[in-house]
Amino acid sequence: MTTTAPTPRIAVIGAGPGGLTCARILQRHGIAVTVHDRDHGPDARDQGGTLDLHEDNGQIALREAGLLDDFFRLARPEGQEMRQLHATTGEIGFHHVPEEGERFKPEIDRGHLRDLLLGSLEPGTVHWGRTLRSVEGPAGGPRRLHFADGTVTEADLVIGADGARSTVRRALSPATPRYTGISFLEAWFHDADRRHPDLAALVGPGSAAAADGERALFAQRSSGGHLRAYVIQRVPADWIAAAGHTAQDTDAVRTLLLDRYRDWSPSLRRLLTDNDGPYVDRPIHALPVPHTWQHDPAVTLLGDAAHLMPPLGVGVNLAMLDACELALALARHDTVAAAVRAYEAVMLPRSTDMQRLLDGAAEGLLSAEPHQEHAPSGTR
């Protein structure tokens, strides 16, 4: 920032790809920043599946972060392969095989991306074990951040990169995510090439999907021999509880699924029966369309905190592009207020357009027609 005023105190809430990208680009421009995250450390929990970072948004952010070459060393271009399978036969219909050297949207494990970004930050940037309870103080700042551990800190700019259930969002907007009517049930397969060779061959090096108009399966390879599958259904959000079970009741849930998918190919039904460990219930939520707020020079949002949409391959890319543009705005404007206004003038129309495009689009995952425009990616 080209100003002689005191250095602004910038706090990013959330150490996901968006928050860490913002911090990295700020530091590259000599701007101090602190990241607060509720996890007790970088290895506190599984970071989720694989992500495809697009050339026209996610990769732009990594270039500004000075990490694009490192990303390509970690990424899996073969993960761009996509197979559309027939639900009743398991045979391949549509099949996209990436060309040699194709790098439009290579895959990377979410955990590997996070490690790349964390390793690029100055020591001590991320404060772990900080669950934000509230953002207080006057509009325009400074704002007081109250954490569950009793810590209170002040910031001249609070950046909400804290995802679908954002606490920072409440300082700007009363909006809350709503259930889309589509639910994912996640299943894991470890050491797939040795322990689940038939499924590994079915999915291939990238991903495979099948649908019959009412239900779908999507499976995707991660690094290290892992597979993740997503059982996709149009059901009430509490469908497992309504049947008297929890997602931890693996055998009982599996029985329900086998009945729902009874007419499907035996090869695909193994994605319901051979998983390692319990399922993970992931009902899909989205923010109202459009989601905007009145400008506040001391608080702003990026990624899912700003524009939660169904996980159809765009979420992390938009979050990282948001982060990049916000960081660059802060580097190029004389005041925080001017930077936030410039950022929101670009981000809000873009996210509104994408929200409208994807509103109800999760239903398309159930279609038996060949498609690859939007595939599940990087579930939260």
Give the residue numbers of the binding site.
45, 52, 110, 304
Annotated binding site for FAD: 52, 110, 304
- Three-state SS across 43-77? CCCCCCCEEECCCCCHHHHHHHCCCHHHHHHHCEH
Angstrom distance (rounded) from CA 217 to CA 210: 5
Structure tokens at 201: 């061959």
Structure tokens at 285: 């939520």
Angstrom distance (rounded) from CA 228 to CA 48: 9
Angstrom distance (rounded) from CA 167 to CA 144: 13
Check if the beta carbon of residue 220 is closer than 8 Å to that of residue 52: no
DSSP per-residue letters across 167-193: SGGGGT-----EEEEEEEEEEEESSHH
Name the DSSP letter for residue 238: T
For 165, residues 6+ apart whose C-beta sits below 8 A from its C-beta are 177
Annotated binding site for NADPH: 45
First to last CA, the chain: 33
Among the listed residues 25, 43, 36, the one whose alpha carbon sits nearest the alpha carbon of residue 125: 36
| DSSP element (H, E) containing 339 | helix 336-358
Residues β-bridged to residue 85? 92, 210
What is the Cα Rg of the chain in Å?
21
Angstrom distance (rounded) from CA 203 to CA 50: 14
Structure tokens at 83: 């197979």
